[in-house]
């Protein structure tokens, strides 16, 4: 748990979406990879709608989503005060309006309980705390291997969603059985695996459900992150659709 605010010397400002965003991130703490950027690209939000991110960290997903869809009401919930402060700074310095609440998913603050949302998103900690060596930085460790079961994340999302609202998650594939069980209170569940390359086993997946949805479960074909059978040259080899989401801020809609 990181409570003390980051000093500027502990931070680095990184470019996202091809330089459209500049986000402060800790040099040694939890740093965003491609997961929150792609998560933001999948959200089917429209201007004037509301979006809640559970465990928003420094708000990379909220910032990427706000940059793509103008006029959203953005709200983040973050348990670590230092990262909540960082999230507010990132939103403000990128010209985005949003609110970041400090609190625990297991016991959310009263201010959150008063609101409902069109969309809830999350990139929960995905490592098993008992099956790995912990990170030296406590803030990074909590971001990678939080102690709360996914059922609590899904239950809070279900309570805060408006009818027909969507809950979208990105996680490592090992967490799929737990998440499927956690999302049972919601409906219209669909899973979209992400593989490193075509024909390779999936390592990540997106999952989406809707409050009150009645559609049958759908498992979509895997989306390859990279082109070709292997990495043959220096530089990026992301597939065109992934590159567009990461570098241009384009949408990454679920398959129909």
Distances (CA, A) of 61 to 164, 187, 198, 227: 22, 24, 26, 24
Which pLDDT does position 127 carry in this prediction? 45
- Between CA 168 and CA 30 the distance in angstroms is 21
Which pLDDT does position 85 carry in this prediction? 98
| Strand (E) or helix (H) holding 81 | helix 81-93
User: What counts of helices (H) and strands (E) characterise the chain?
Assistant: 8, 11
Instruction: Give me the half-sphere count of Cα atoms (radius 13 Å) on the Cβ side of residue 150.
Output: 27
| pTM of the model as a whole | 0.90
**What is the pLDDT tens value at each position of the chain, 256 positions in all?**
889 999 999 999 999 999 999 999 999 988 999 999 999 999 999 999 999 999 999 999 999 999 999 999 999 999 999 999 999 999 999 999 999 999 999 999 999 998 999 999 999 996 454 443 444 545 443 444 456 999 999 999 999 999 999 999 999 999 999 999 999 999 999 999 999 999 999 999 999 999 999 999 999 999 999 998 776 555 589 999 999 999 999 999 999 9
User: What is residue 59's three-state secondary structure?
Assistant: coil
The residues facing 129 across adjacent strands are none
The per-residue pLDDT for range 136-168, each reduced to its tens digit, is 545 443 444 456 999 999 999 999 999 999 999
| Strand (E) or helix (H) holding 244 | helix 240-248
- Which alpha helices (H) appear in 120-235, and where do they start and end? 138-144, 150-160, 176-182
Stated length of the chain: 256
Q: Which phi and psi (to 5°) does residue 100 adopt?
A: -120, 120
What are the structure tokens assigned to 60, written together?
């990379």
Q: Spell out the domain ranges in the chain.
A: 8-248
Work out the burial of residue 67: count CB atoms within 10 Å of its CB; fewer than 13 is exposed, 13-18 middle, 19 or more buried.
middle
- Between CA 184 and CA 157 the distance in angstroms is 12
Instruction: Give me the half-sphere count of Cα atoms (radius 13 Å) on the Cβ side of residue 104.
Output: 7
- Between CA 134 and CA 181 the distance in angstroms is 27
Cα angle at 210 between 209 and 215, to 5 degrees? 85
Q: Which phi and psi (to 5°) does residue 75 adopt?
A: -135, 135
- Between CA 60 and CA 6 the distance in angstroms is 17
Phi-psi group of 177: left, alpha or beta (phi > 0 → left; psi -120 to 50 → alpha; rest → beta): alpha
Fold of 8-248: Rossmann fold (3.40.50)
């Amino acid at each position: 748990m990181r409570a003390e605010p980051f000093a500027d010397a502990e931070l680095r400002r990184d470019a996202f979406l091809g330089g459209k965003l500049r986000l402060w991130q800790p040099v040694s703490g939890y740093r965003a990879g491609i997961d929150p950027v792609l998560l933001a690209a999948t959200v089917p939000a429209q201007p004037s709608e509301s979006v809640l991110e559970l465990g928003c960290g420094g708000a990379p997903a909220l910032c990427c989503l706000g940059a793509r869809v103008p006029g959203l009401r953005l709200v983040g919930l973050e348990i670590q005060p230092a990262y909540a402060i960082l999230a507010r700074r990132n939103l403000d310095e990128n010209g985005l309006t949003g609110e970041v609440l400090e609190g625990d998913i297991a016991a959310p603050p009263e201010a959150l309980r008063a609101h409902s949302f069109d969309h809830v998103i999350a990139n929960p900690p995905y490592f098993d705390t008992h099956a790995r060596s912990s990170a030296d930085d406590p803030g990074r460790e909590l971001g990678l291997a939080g102690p709360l079961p996914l059922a609590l994340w899904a239950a809070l999302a279900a309570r805060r969603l408006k009818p027909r609202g969507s809950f979208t998650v990105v996680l490592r594939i090992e967490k799929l059985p737990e998440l499927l069980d956690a999302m049972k209170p919601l409906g219209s569940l669909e899973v979209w695996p992400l593989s490193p390359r075509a024909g390779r086993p999936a390592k990540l997946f997106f999952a989406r459900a809707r409050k009150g949805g009645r559609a049958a479960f759908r498992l979509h074909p895997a989306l390859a992150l990279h082109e070709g059978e292997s990495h043959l040259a220096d530089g990026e080899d992301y597939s065109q659709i992934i590159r567009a989401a990461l570098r241009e801020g384009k949408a990454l809609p679920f398959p129909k």
